Structure 1
Amino acid sequence: MTDPDALVALIKAEPSTRGHTISKLGYFCAPFRPASGPLSDKVIKVYRGLPDAAALDRLKQCHDDYFAALRQCGVTIPDTEMHLVSIDGARQPVIVQEALPEDSLMRPLMQRAGLDDALGMMEAAGQCIASFWHGSQKIDTRIGFHPSIRNFAIMDGKAVFFDTFPPLIHYSRDEMGRMLLQYSDKRLMRLVGPLMQKRVTGIQDEWYSPPETLVGLVGSACRLRPPEAEAFLDWGRDFATRAMQPWAEEALRGMQEPPRLPGYWTGFRKILGLQGEPNV
């Protein structure tokens, strides 16, 4: 169990002493891993607080429910807790997650691997996606999944998922659209985003669609390794047919050619300076 006082002290420590930042390119925060101490085997993710206490309490409950649902659906995920900690008089959500070896992150592994090994990693991630969506049919609430290449690690040939924020459970589509702005780490997004709320809200739609999550994974692989796009498309078509039968027809329609990101999302990422790097 995480000591709240130790967690607050760590967060308030000077950045140069609290540990190294794993990635500065995430949309919601810049996770870090402590260099030493009782939390040195954890990744810490600190998110923006809100003045609405009830909304924060709901966020934590939804996160707890989402973590439980992921495991219920057969998703392999490291031990993960959300805490609401008081920092300088304001409560902030903080996720404490068991750290994964940095050399297990799927995206850099995909960049270095031979084609056969890359397809093996896609199979591992695909099995995770299929397990989630088949399992989710027994969950009686709105639930989604964001299985991008940068949200997986590969360990012993198995995909390990580690992205639990925002918790894609219980919230309505409009509520999740607002959360994408409320918790953004980028001030520019919070300022400009409300002017394009409809488009911002649409970012999430892929996460709540079984066929589109598979198509999104394949699209990421095609963009990461363009010369081998046809091999990833062939894998995706085959996988949809044999492992995601209820949604296969729609998934196949999305993989006639290398899938592309929506123009508005690539535009947002350029404005915010975000790139396709691991955001653990």
Structure 2
Amino acid sequence: MTDLDALAALIRADSAARGQTISRLGYFCAPFRPAEGPFSDRVIKVYRGLTDRAMAERLRACHEDYVAALLAGGVPMPETAFHLLEMEGASVPVIVQEALPVDSLMRPQMQAQPLPETLKMMEAAGQVIARFWHWAEGQEARIGFHPSIRNFAIRGGEAVFFDTFPPLIHYSRDEMGRMLLTFSEKRLMRVVGPLMRARVTGIQDEWYSPPETLVGLVGSACRLRPDDAQAYLDWGRDFAQREMAPWAEEALAGMTETPKLPGYWTGFRKLLGLQGEPNV
């Protein structure tokens, strides 16, 4: 059982006491891994606190349902727990997740390994994407998936997914759009975002579209290794027809050339200083 008092004390500690910050460039938080103590084998993800208790409890319930859905859909994941900590008058969402070896993260491996090895990684990630969406076809709940290269690790030839926030289940499109603003770690996004609510809301659309999640994966690989873009496009086209037949036509249409990020999202990323580093 998690010692919530110890977890709260760790979160209140200054950055030096916390230990290693895994990434400072995440949209929702900067995950960290404690250097020592009972959580030294865990990555801690702390999100903005909520003063609305009902909203916080709904978030907890949706996160539990989302983790259960990912597992039911055959998505390999590290052990993941969600907690609400009462701190300074707010309910603070905290995810405690089994730490993955840094050298297992997919993005740096995609940058460093020879092309044939990276194509094996793409196949491993693609299999997770296809398996999940084939499962999700039979579900009634609105459910999404964000299988970007930076949200995977590769261990023993298997793709392991580790991004469970926000929980892409049950929330309507408008509700999820508001969550993208509510939980943004960047104050600038919370200030400017409401003025462009429709565009912010649109960020999520790829996550709820089976063909677009595959196209997004291929686009990320092409941007990481532009000299090998044609190989990733060839793989994506073949994979869509082999493993994602119900969505192949739309996926193929998105891979006639190197997929590009939407202009508004590229603008947001530059504005916020997000460069696509691993979001562990």
The TM-score, its normalising length taken from structure 1, stands at 0.99
| Residues 129-164 of structure 1 deviation map (CA, whole Å, 9 limit, x = unaligned) | 001101112222000000000000000000000000
Separation (CA, whole Å) in 2 of partners of 1:50 and 1:10: 19
Match of 2:224 in 1: 224
| Superposition map of 1:155-234 within 5 A | 155-234=155-234
Supply the distance in 2 between the matched residues of 1:144 and 1:89 (Cα, whole angstroms).
Answer: 32
Name the TM-score, length of structure 2 as normaliser. Answer: 0.99
Name the SS of the counterpart of 1:154 in structure 2.
strand
The aligned counterpart of 2:100 is 100
Q: How does 1:43-54 map to 2 (within 5 A)?
A: 43-54=43-54
Q: Which runs of 4+ in 1 moved over 4 A?
A: none
CA contact (8 A) 2:146 2:207 kept: yes
Give the Å deviation of 1:84: 0.3
Q: Does 1:124 align with 2:124?
A: yes
Q: Is residue 51–residue 89 contact of structure 2 (8 Å, CA) maintained in 1? A: no
CA distance in 1 between counterparts of 2:14 and 2:74 reads 39
Supply the AA of the counterpart residue of 2:194. P
3-state secondary structure, aligned to 2:36 = coil
The alignment's C-alpha RMSD in Å is 0.6
By how many angstroms is 1:218 displaced?
Answer: 0.2
Structure 1 residues 158-196: Cα deviation after superposition (integer angstroms, max 9, x where no partner): 000000000000000000000000000000000000000
Partner Cα distance (2:9, 2:88) in 1: 11
Q: Which amino acid aligns with 1:84?
A: L
Aligned residues with identical type, % of pairs: 74
- Residues of 1 paired with 2:137 and 2:77: CA distance? 19
Pairing of 1:1-280 with structure 2 (within 5 A): 1-280=1-280
Quote the Cα distance in structure 2 between the aligned partners of 1:142 and 1:195.
26
The alignment covers a number of residue pairs equal to 280
- Measured against aligned partners, the alpha-carbon deviations of 1:55-113 in whole angstroms (never above 9, x if no partner) come to 00000000000000000000000111110001223210000000000000000000001
Partners of 1:264 and 1:232 in 2: CA distance: 25
**Distance in 2 between the 1:264 and 1:227 partners?**
25
User: Which letter does structure 2 place at the counterpart of 1:229?
Assistant: A
Q: Which runs of 5 or more residues in structure 1 are unaligned?
A: none
Distance 2:186 2:135 in 1: 34
